[in-house]
Amino acid sequence: MLDEWRQNNSEGRVEDNVKLLRAALAEHPTEWRLVTALMYSLFLTYGRTKEKSALEEAISLGEWMLRSCVDDNERFRAIHLLACSYGALGDTQTAMAMARRLPEVTALSVMASVAQGEEKEYMAHLNVLSGLFSIGEYIKVLAWEASGRGEHARALDLLEQAERVYAAFFGPHECLSFCIHLARVFYERARVKLLLGDEEGALSDLRRVAEYAIAYEQLPWLTELARCDFDPVRGTPEFQAVEQMLRPPV
């Protein structure tokens, strides 16, 4: 069932996942992986529909998990999603309180300290990738905030920094898991460039979105392209070519 959930998620079928997980939980109400998967799908649903009921359901599930679940890994996932859900509802104080319950020192950091030989080197490498991901994500947050204030040139500069951070540490064939993060950087850059009136640059970045999404073998981007405001270029042959690239194979 989780394989079907992952497939739906990769194709952007969030609503199908919500139905799938609700049905599964009706039979297995304390299968905690299913609960956190449903919380995540509900959070994505809010991102598309802005219906607060999706966040409220996710929060209800998460709070119930914290009362009932003893699996530390699933509890941490629930706390993370609770922090995000409370934040999206505008309850920053509760969101921050949830975030403070997450471990500040990661397991990878500890393992890199105690391991020996090749395993120590491997754990250190994983820590570099983990830190890289965090830096890239924080830069993207700064870019979103700048764009929200109307500082689009500043946002574009930050997104270019995020691209350089990711690109400096991996190649497309070395660490494909970062391709999807680069795809999101280029997606946001396309949106900002449109706000700055750079239609040609926006289309160029959308093509990069397609290339990285295809390299990672995930194509959840078509619904995003349809949902977001790309009207100035939507009818162009270049935009239609990007849409065609991102269509899942029949």
Q: Residue 104 — φ and ψ, nearest 5°?
A: -80, -35
pTM of the entire predicted model: 0.64
Domains 2-99 and 118-246 share a fold: yes
Q: Which helix (H) or strand (E) holds 241?
A: helix 237-246
Mean residue pLDDT of the chain comes to 83
pLDDT band at 211 (very low <50, low <70, confident <90, very high): confident
In this model, does residue 220 exceed pLDDT 70?
Answer: no
pLDDT at 172: 47
The whole-angstrom separation of Cα 128 and Cα 230 is 35
pLDDT digits (tens, 9 = 90+) for 162-171: 988 887 766 5
pLDDT at 59: 97
Class of CATH domain 118-246: mainly alpha
pLDDT at 231: 78
Of 25 and 113, the structure prediction assigns the larger pLDDT to: 25
In this model, does residue 173 exceed pLDDT 50?
Answer: no
pLDDT band at 247 (very low <50, low <70, confident <90, very high): low
pLDDT band at 157 (very low <50, low <70, confident <90, very high): very high
Q: If one looks up domain 2-99 in CATH, what number appears?
A: 1.25.40.10
What single letter denotes the amino acid at residue 50? K
pLDDT at 4: 83
Lowest mean pLDDT among 72-81, 190-199, 213-222: 213-222
What average pLDDT score do residues 147-163 get? 93
Of 239 and 66, the structure prediction assigns the larger pLDDT to: 66
How do the domains of the chain map onto residue ranges?
2-99, 118-246
C-alpha Rg value of the chain to the nearest Å: 20
Q: Which of 49, 10, 4 minimizes the C-alpha distance to 23? A: 4
With tokens 């920053």, the residue in question is 92
With tokens 């194509």, the residue in question is 219
What average pLDDT score do residues 124-140 get? 84
Q: Is 249 exposed, middle or buried (0-12, 13-18, 19+ CB in 10 A)?
A: exposed
pLDDT at 74: 92
The whole-angstrom separation of Cα 218 and Cα 70 is 33
Q: Which of 81, 80, 86, 135 minimizes the C-alpha distance to 102? A: 80
pLDDT digits (tens, 9 = 90+) for 41-86: 999 888 778 889 999 999 999 999 999 999 988 999 999 999 999 9
